[in-house]
């Protein structure tokens, strides 16, 4: 199931004209098709596993939580993305503002909503896509101007996909969470943002000199935090101390974006979900840097940004299409074999290591507040307390009021 352009997938006016989450509802339609038809192709409709990376990972988590997807699949894997990540939900009120801005850019009425949507439907796709830069406040940020929303209403004949904040959906006592779930992150996921920044000296200088302005935009708390200056200062102090942002602190920039974009959401999601789910939750930390890295594609540089966002995909889907001429090392091949074995065993059984001799370790599900996880690097072993200090730092910040539970758009206050 593919993602769509954000304008089509997540445009929302907050009412019946465009309630939002169309991209996720398209995925529900695809899952229903699988249920209705997969047996004809030799598949088992009673054993369906969905998995995705980044936005795909967050989508999987949303499907686990959404009543609309209930019964359509049986296991889920979210790689570097959960429904509690900083970029996966629009603050209340912001989606309508974005829709009205898009309408104005395309000479459409901003109200009423039906007229806005009817007009946008008549615009050429290329003209809509061309407005992308008008939503950017610094470089390409905010990187995701149109996001999923909490739906307050639905189109006639349609159902609601996200009825409440995802935190409340996890804690909803009327909904049993019974889907075995794997989730985790890459140690250098933040290379997704850091790599293109360090590809241009001016962007590095901007981030250093205008951190208080840029950080709330790039890390999504400008719309939600009521204390942006205080938050920005605490972030700067935590990751950089008295040091400037430059090549010497490159890996601190990677860590900052890793933690804001991925770790914080994963940490909170697994803590909450394991407490209420009747099914196992498996947590991992991918820390293997092989022959190639996606940071080269994000930056055009061969600089070591760590184990970048999407790096694990080349071991799950080995191909020379992304890195032509790549000759994998023996260790690359070993990691590929182990990753594919665990992922496919989970798809078959709901347990990634039913026979530990296949990968020489038994991946234990989380059983306590210590958050047991599988370390996947040159070696593989169980550990606990993943990046505890960094995760607790983000939980302590006034980034999203009430620890994700309040969906406040600060312009409404």
Greatest Cα pair distance in the chain: 63
Measured in whole angstroms, the distance separating CA 70 from the mean position of its chain's CA atoms is 21
Beta strands 373-376; 380-383: pairing state:
antiparallel
* Domain range annotation of the chain: 186-401
Rounded mean pLDDT, 313-332: 93
Q: What pLDDT is stored for residue 88 in this prediction?
A: 97
| Residue 75: per-residue pLDDT | 99
Structure tokens, 202:
């001016």
Q: How far apart are CA 95 and CA 278, in angstroms?
A: 34
Residue 205 CB partners (closer than 8 Å, separation 6+): none
* 91: helix, strand or coil: coil
The C-alpha atoms of residue 337 and residue 60 are separated, in whole angstroms, by: 24
Position 413 pLDDT exceeds 50: no
Task: Report residue 397 as tokens.
Answer: 């910040």
Any idea which residue has 């935090």 for tokens?
Answer: 225
Task: List the single range of 134-143, 152-161, 183-192 with lowest mean pLDDT.
Answer: 152-161
Tell me if 197 sits within 8 A of 384, measured CB to CB: no
| Residue 66: partners with Cβ closer than 8 Å, 6 or more residues away | 24, 28, 161, 162, 169
In the prediction, which pLDDT does 7 show?
57
The Cα–Cα gap between 413 and 411 comes to 6
Q: What confidence tier does 354 reach under pLDDT thresholds 50, 70, 90?
A: very high
* Topology given in CATH for the domain delimited by 186-401: Rossmann fold (3.40.50)
- The pTM of the full predicted model, rounded to 2 decimals, is 0.94
216 phi and psi, to 5 degrees? -65, -25
């Amino acid at each position: 199931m593919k993602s769509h352009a954000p304008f089509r997938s997540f445009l929302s006016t907050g009412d019946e004209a465009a309630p939002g989450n169309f991209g996720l509802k398209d995925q529900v339609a695809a899952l229903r098709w699988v249920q209705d038809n997969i047996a004809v192709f030799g598949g088992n409709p009673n054993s369906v596993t969905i998995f995705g990376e980044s936005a795909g990972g967050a989508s999987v988590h949303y499907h686990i939580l959404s009543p609309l997807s209930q019964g359509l699949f049986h296991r889920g894997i979210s790689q570097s993305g959960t429904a509690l990540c900083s970029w996966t939900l629009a603050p209340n009120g912001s989606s309508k503002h974005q829709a009205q801005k898009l309408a104005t850019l395309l000479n459409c009425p901003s109200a009423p909503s039906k007229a806005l949507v009817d007009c946008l439907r008549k615009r050429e796709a290329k003209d809509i896509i061309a407005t992308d830069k008008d939503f950017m406040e610094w470089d390409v940020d905010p990187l995701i101007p149109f996001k999923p929303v909490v739906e307050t209403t639905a189109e006639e004949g349609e159902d609601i996909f996200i009825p409440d904040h995802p935190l409340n959906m996890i804690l909803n006592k009327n909904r049993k969470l019974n889907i075995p779930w794997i989730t985790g992150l890459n140690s250098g996921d933040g290379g997704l943002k850091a790599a293109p920044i360090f590809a241009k000296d001016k962007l590095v200088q901007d981030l250093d000199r205008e951190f208080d302005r840029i950080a709330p935009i790039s890390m999504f708390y400008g719309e939600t935090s009521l204390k942006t200056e205080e938050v920005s200062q605490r972030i700067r102090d935590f990751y950089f101390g008295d040091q400037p942002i430059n090549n010497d602190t490159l890996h601190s920039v990677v860590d900052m974006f890793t933690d804001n974009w991925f770790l914080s959401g994963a940490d909170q999601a697994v803590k909450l979900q394991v407490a209420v789910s009747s099914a196992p939750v498996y947590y991992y930390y991918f820390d293997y840097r092989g022959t190639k890295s996606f940071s080269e594609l994000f930056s055009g540089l061969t600089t070591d940004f760590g184990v970048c966002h999407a790096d694990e995909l080349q071991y799950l889907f080995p191909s020379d299409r992304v890195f032509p001429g790549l000759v994998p090392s023996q260790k690359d091949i070993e990691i590929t074999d182990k990753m594919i074995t665990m992922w496919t065993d989970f798809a078959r059984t709901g347990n990634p290591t039913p026979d530990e001799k296949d990968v020489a370790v038994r991946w234990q599900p989380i059983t306590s507040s210590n958050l047991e996880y599988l370390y996947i690097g040159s070696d593989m072993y169980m550990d606990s307390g993943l990046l505890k200090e960094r995760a607790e730092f983000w939980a302590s910040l006034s980034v999203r009021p009430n620890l994700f539970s309040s969906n406040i758009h600060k312009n409404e206050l």
